[in-house]
Amino acid sequence: MKKIFLMLLFSAFLCNISAQTSPKNDNQRYFDINKNLDIFNSVFKELHMFYVDSIPTDKMMQSVIENTLAGLDPYTEYYAENNMDDLRMLTTGEYAGIGAVISYNNGQVIINQPYENMPAAKSGLKAADAILEIDGIDMRKANVKDVSDKLKGTPGTTVTLLIQRPGENKPRTIKVVREKITINPVTYSAINDSGTGYIHFSGFTENSSKEFRKAFLDLKDKGAQSLIIDLRGNGGGILEEAVSIANLFIPKDQEIVSTKGKIKQWDRTYKTSEQPIDTLIPIAVLTDTSSASASEILAGSMQDLDRGVIIGNRTFGKGLVQTTRMLPYNGNLKITTAKYYIPSRRCIQVLDYSHRNPDGSVARVPDSLTNVFYTRNGREVRDGGGINPDFIIAEDKPGTITYYLITQNVVFDFVTDWVLKHSQIDSPDKFSLTDADYEAFKQFVKSKKDFKYDQMSAHSLRNLEEVMKFEGYMDVASAEFQALKAKLVPDLDRDLELFKESIKDVITNEIIRRYYFEKGVLIHTLQNDKAYQKAVEVLNDKSLYNNTLKPGKSIASSH
């Protein structure tokens, strides 16, 4: 049944899209749209009346819509009335609840991470607390969404939780007063001994530019002579907030970004509208492969206008703009309506979702097919591939085993046991995991009989083996193949040692998060952060900073 609905509705959408992109006149286009919707409506009625089994209408239609939109791009999404809180959180960073991340672990919903200074943390809830009941309602078999819905509510109301804390025999009751939860996008800000200010900025939600402005002014009051803006891991958000932050450093009436879509009346140009705070302070922007959308608008405008240097790794490459549209019955559609272009006139969108491969995948634009644009000073930059940094800092490869240790909650569970034995730890900048602790972790992993991990290389090797047998090469290359296979087969002891440093970092961060929240993790990681250290070096070397922004300089020419 599900496949029938998908095929029907997707056919209607394909005809709709085809009509919009063909030279037919408007009357013919609207006729095609209405014809296909009418066909779909009739088929659905026939199935509802005569299909041998009853049809779960709401669930089926929700699935049809979601699967149809998935064939467009990852950012066009439907939000039913009962999911509007998710959309609101995405755009405003606000919701009413207890202020904690929850997740599913070991067959139950647990507190994964209470936010600092939020109701959950203030009431004494801790990471790994299992939620047994909410206001007397049994939650032992509930899923994450069910628990989340129960935890949310009107600010000022009290929710009573029965929780089971690791290491304790009896459940305990904790009452939490709900609040309007607003996530401050400025995760951490500080100034170092050389006078370099640092702001870690996590998301471009509503009014986030005001929080950034406040943090920057505070750093200036403390004597900051240069500034690092850390956008790593920042997936973006509201475009206007990125423009407002750029406006702090760029003169009034300067174009920051423009958008162009199918409906020309919606095309817009966004310029700085106020006098800036500081047009001279040297700036470094840190980026990585998770810096996307509004993060790329801010980083890209700073690069195109030669207002700062970019350090780290190439950004995600999301040059698409979404608009929310109201739907019947209080639903909402977040739909991609335009592409955006930064000051050099380049679009940094890396994937073309309108041209898919036969298998449905979307290919990245090869660098050889991208186009050259120029910054204000005449430096070469390219489109179609995110924002390429001025200084590229190679990222460490953590290994597949690290991913599985995280996603299967092995690290989380080990840290839960570790915390029971340690009432306190050193400050984030001084704490380190001992070799004895790591040896204990290795034994903990081996005790998890259900822990399984695989490698992409092993999957590829199995495919290669089939191809070699089919093409008749196995006989002549059998020895070489078996030698390679022996090296690539997952080996727990070998991989726990091979990727020891990256695994230790993950464990260390999880431990620090339990005592000092996300701010503590940032303080710790900055101690040995290569991109941060490079930013400090560049900002403290005026000649290097100025030469990087000189006319004719190629982007990413230094490492």
- From start to end of 84-157, where are the E strands? 94-97, 100-105, 108-114, 130-134, 137-138
- What is the residue-wise DSSP string for 7-61? HHHHHHHHHHHHHHHSS--HHHHHHHHHHHHHHHHHHHHHHHHHSSS---HHHHH
Q: What are phi and psi of 52, to 5 degrees?
A: -60, -35
Q: Which residue has the tokens 């020895």?
A: 479
CA distances (Å), origin 522, targets 219, 419, 422, 448, 537: 17, 20, 21, 30, 19
User: What is the Cα–Cα distance from 157 to 119, expressed in whole angstroms?
Assistant: 11
Q: Among the options 208, 226, 244, 293, which is catalytic?
A: 293
Furthest CA-CA distance within the chain: 78
Decide if 175 is catalytic.
Answer: no
Q: Among the options 244, 295, 306, 318, which is catalytic?
A: 318
DSSP letter at 122?
H
Residues 6+ apart with CB under 8 A from 304: 342, 343, 344, 346, 373, 375, 376, 381
Structure tokens at 344: 């050099």
Decide if 293 is catalytic.
Answer: yes
Q: Is 282 exposed, middle or buried (0-12, 13-18, 19+ CB in 10 A)?
A: buried
Q: Among the options 32, 73, 230, 304, which is catalytic?
A: 304
Residue 92 identity: T
Residues involved in catalysis: 293, 304, 318
